[in-house]
Amino acid sequence: MPASLRPGDWEVPLDEVIYFDNAATSWPKPPEVTEAMVRFLNEIGANPGRSGHRMAVEAGRVVYEAREAIAELFNAPDPLRVVFGSNATEALNLVLRGYLRPGDHVVTSSVEHNAVMRPLRALERQGVEITVVGCAPDGTLDPADVLAAIRSNTVLVVLNHASNVVGTILPVAEVAAQVRAQLIAPLPAPLLVVDAAQTAGAVPIDVQADGIDLLVFTGHKSLHGPTGTGGLVIGERVDLARLEPLKRGGTGSRSEHEEQPDFLPDKYESGTVNAVGLAGLTAGVRWVLKQGVEAIRAREEALTRRLIDGLRAIPGVTVYGTLDPARQTATVSFSIAGMEPSEVGLRLDEEFAIMCRVGLHCAPAAHRTIGTFPTGTVRFSLGAFNTAEEVDRALEAVERLAGDTRRRTHSARRMMHQAGYEQQGG
């Protein structure tokens, strides 16, 4: 009997489910990910870096292999400058809360996720100055606007690599190049912090060529690892003495001291790391490397074009963003005239077994930018395992819903017209 979803009193065979929520977390995972995690639990299981016996040594090797895989994927020269945590949000909090001081100035964009905006707003109340550079309604950002916002006390420029709402890819490499070219010594160029939660594994990233000083990533999206994994790649320009740890505690190193170690990665990795999760993350990253990020990107771009073109052809449907798959990820937001996004999402799930996300997507600033606040949108986010057939089935479903709405609207108008006609004695 095939596996199935069974929420409440209905069930759907998994092979009939269309999973379009990869921007939240990717599904399914490559089988290698599950196999690596099961192997770790069954054959290794020890605490990395805490003991000298062979199982602990093997656990430590698993964690280091995860650093090597991340470094290879992002062309980071030193695996020890890859710091792991539970997700991208934790890594962003480490950077923002650890680096910024009262009186510092930070520049960010108007399409950021709350993982950036909420820590920044909290720091603003403590004296950190913030400039939010406006993006265009399609989510695009002009690097010149970022450059114009920089002041003498600007220490960080924080940008997501791609919007989690409309998928628009921000020109982070161009921003880095222009900022560094225009600033005059001895004024140091601000550090560029890039939130790659939506792009790591789906869009090529080279921290050296792109001028990225701090790259934030999560493991459970396009890196195809499990939830509870993520971290930070720290560039050479970062002052480690200034970047304070988010937490302090046991690291397995320098146990004779009651002060936190000052070297990487131990300074920022207190407590037992999620070793079984990192085993899965390594397998996910190795799968991405084997497929090739460029090949994954090309395939998702083709599916995105098919989806955007199909949605735009349906009367009553509005698609947001650039409408250009070459300028965005495989994340597409849309709305249906006359229907709340919550109603669309519920019907897509219950009637068509299409899993998507609706609402504000933890990014109210982005929705204000594209003009969909406070209602939000319906978001289809495709991944490496989606197919053209699934896109076509989803388009048929959206067309059905939009058609139902048009018929309801037409019927309501006809009834109102008839009522008015009768009142006039017609």
**What are the residue numbers of the active site?**
362
Cα distances (Å, whole numbers) of residue 417 to 87, 123, 405, 421: 56, 57, 18, 6
Q: How far apart are CA 84 and CA 227, in angstroms?
A: 13
Q: How far apart are CA 80 and CA 383, in angstroms?
A: 30
Dihedral-angle region of residue 161 (phi above 0 means left; psi in -120 to 50 means alpha; beta otherwise): alpha
CB atoms within 10 A of CB 239: 10
Token pair in block for residue 416: 């109102």
Contacting residues for 328 by C-beta, under 8 A, at least 6 apart = 139, 162, 163, 166, 167, 168, 169, 304, 321, 322
Q: How far apart are the first and last CA of the chain?
A: 62
Nearest-5° angle of CA 139, CA 141, CA 145?
145
Q: How far apart are CA 162 and CA 417, in angstroms?
A: 47
Smallest CA-to-CA distance from 130 within 107, 151, 100 is with: 107
Nearest-5° angle of CA 341, CA 343, CA 349?
100
Q: What is the 3-state secondary structure (H, E, C) of 321-353?
A: CCCCHHHECCEEEEEECCCCHHHHHHHHHHHHC
**Residue 109 · residue 170 · CB < 8 Å:** yes
Which residue stretches of 164-221 are H helix?
A: 172-182
Token pair in block for residue 69: 């895989």
| Neighbour-count burial for 81-105, b at 16+ CB within 10 Å, e otherwise | bbbbbbbbbbbbbbbbbebbeeebb
Q: How far apart are CA 129 and CA 102, in angstroms?
A: 8
> Over the Cα atoms of the chain, what is R_g?
24
For residue 160, the one-letter residue type is N
Nearest-5° angle of CA 330, CA 332, CA 334?
170
How does DSSP classify residue 44?
A: I
